[in-house]
Chain A
Amino acid sequence: NAGVTQTPKFRILKIGQSMTLQCAQDMNHNYMYWYRQDPGMGLKLIYYSVGAGITDKGEVPNGYNVSRSTTEDFPLRLELAAPSQTSVYFCASSIPGTGNTEAFFGQGTRLTVV
């Protein structure tokens, strides 16, 4: 059981470049989330999705885009990378509101924008 898989694990981008962080889950969870983890700031919610075809903004969506064409996949797109987007990105999935709402996390993507 793979759980939540993120790729890549590390990436260095130049300012203005674009990239897509991939996230896939095999637990048939309807909710998926993207967070960024900055030192001393905890996890901030970027975007989330309540199911295929439905996404919504979190606390810090600027500079990012997402899509959810399938239940399994929830990619995060950076169009014009900026140094402020240097962070560790975590994807997670869960089934909230069911009494068994544990969120499962990917191993993270460490992104540096130079």
Chain B
Amino acid sequence: AQRVTQPEKLLSVFKGAPVELKCNYSYSGSPELFWYVQYSRQRLQLLLRHISRESIKGFTADLNKGETSFHLKKPFAQEEDSAMYYCALSGRMDSSYKLIFGSGTRLLVRP
């Protein structure tokens, strides 16, 4: 079954500390993986996608097909990074595309 797993509900770090938000997926094929972010009381917005291999706001994520992981990393967390982060997978399921999400990780960056 297709699934996205984010094992941590809450990740609390101090400003300047490294951050790693974990994401594992289950999918029989070649999925597209994304990280979406939701700041307080705002709509979800795309942070980054695996195919572009870019760094956004200092965040990077590498797709590891062997470990079926797509962890989100940032070397030095900032207070403004505090938000809800969702890992998402888009792929063909039952003849059409679906976009499914993990349960989310709340990142809290303390001063």
Contact = CB atoms under 8 A, between A and B. Distances in A.
Interface of A: 31, 33, 35, 40-43, 45, 48, 50, 56, 58-59, 90, 92, 94, 96-97, 99, 101-103, 105-108
B86 A43 contact: yes
A94 B43 contact: no
Contacts of A107: 42-43
A94 B99 CA distance: 9
Interface of B: 6, 9, 32, 34, 36, 42-46, 49, 51, 86, 88, 90, 92, 94, 96-104
Contact of A96 (B42, B86, B90): B90
A45 B90 contact: no
Report, nearest first, the 9 A-B pairs whose CB atoms are least far apart: A42-B103, A96-B97, A43-B101, A105-B44, A42-B104, A105-B43, A107-B43, A102-B46, A50-B96
Contacts of A101: 32, 49, 90
B44 A99 contact: no
Contact of A42 (B45, B96, B99, B102): B102
A41 B6 CA distance: 11
Given A40-B9, A106-B43, A92 B104 contact: no
B96 A103 contact: no
